[in-house]
Amino acid sequence: MTDARDRVIVAMGGGGFSMETDNTLLDDLILDLGRNANDRRQPRICFLPTASGDTPAYIAEFYSAFARRSEANHLALFNRTVDDIERLLLDQDVVYVGGGNTENMLAVWRVHGVDRALRAAWETGVVLAGVSAGSLCWFEAGTTDSFGAGLAPLSAGLGLLPGSNAPHYDGEATRRPHFQRLIAEGAIPDGYAADDGAALVFRGTELSEVVASRPGARAYRVERGPDGEAVETALPARYLG
C-alpha cells in the first residue's frame, strides 16, 4: 500500500482522445503521471470502455491515441477474456475509464469485481483517470444522464473520493443548474464540477490542482451555503499548453 499522496486520480470533465482529437494535452499529462509512478518510459495503460458497452469503435480510438506511446491494452467485460482482473489492473501504470452510461458501468463492474480491483490498484499507486462517466465514478455521488435524456442524481459511486462530481459543466446547459440544485437541496454532498477541457487532479483524497487543455476551461467547488443555497467557487487552473 502506497502513501496517500502517491494515490492519483485525474477526473476530466470532458476532453481527452474521445473529445479532443487534435488536442492531446490532458492525455499527455495522464501518461506522464503514469510514467513517473513507476519510472517507465513506455507506461502501461489499460482502457475500461464498460460505460459504452465495450463499443469497438471507442476501443479503436483508444489504441489509435495511445498504442505508439505506451503499452496499451483494454479490459472488456461484455465479452470477458481476462480471468484475474485485479492482477491485470495492478500490473498497469494507468487505468483510463471511458465515458458512457455511468450507472450501467458501475453495476457491471460490481458483478465482475472491478470495483474492488480498482480500489486495490489505487491503493498501490496505479494512476486512475477518466472522462465523464470515468470522472463521476470515483466520487460518492454526482449528476448523471444514465436514465434517459434528463439528469438524475448518481448516489452509488465508488467513493474513492469524498463528495460529489459534475462533468461537462459548461458543455451541457442543464449540468450547472442541476448540480447546484441537488447540492442546495442536500440531495447530494458538496463537491466539484469541471468544464469540458478541465481536469481535477487528486493526490490521496485531496485536490492537488486543476489543469486545462484549453484557455478558459475551469473547475469549481460547489457547496451548500448557510441559507440552503448553492455556493460556487471558481478554482485556479493551470493551462497545459
Residues with a known catalytic role: 132, 168
Q: What is the C-alpha to C-alpha distance for residues 199 and 210, in angstroms, rounded to an integer?
A: 6
Look up residue 40 and give its amino acid. Answer: R
**Which residues is 221 bridged to in the sheet?**
192, 233
Helices (H), the chain: 25-38, 56-66, 85-90, 102-112, 114-123, 133-136, 175-185
CA distance readout (Å), 163 to 138, 160, 203: 10, 10, 15
Q: Fill in the DSSP letter of residue 4.
A: G
Distance, CA of 83 to CA of 241 (rounded, Å): 41
Which residue is it, cell 481536469?
Answer: 199
Alpha helices (runs of H) in 71-217, residue ranges in sequence order: 85-90, 102-112, 114-123, 133-136, 175-185
Q: What are phi and psi of 4, to 5 degrees?
A: -55, -35
Q: How many residues does the chain have?
A: 241
* CA distances for 199 relative to 74, 114, 173, 179, 202, angstroms: 22, 23, 19, 17, 10
Question: What is the Cα–Cα distance from 24 to 29, expressed in whole angstroms?
Answer: 9
- Element containing residue 226 per DSSP (H, E): none
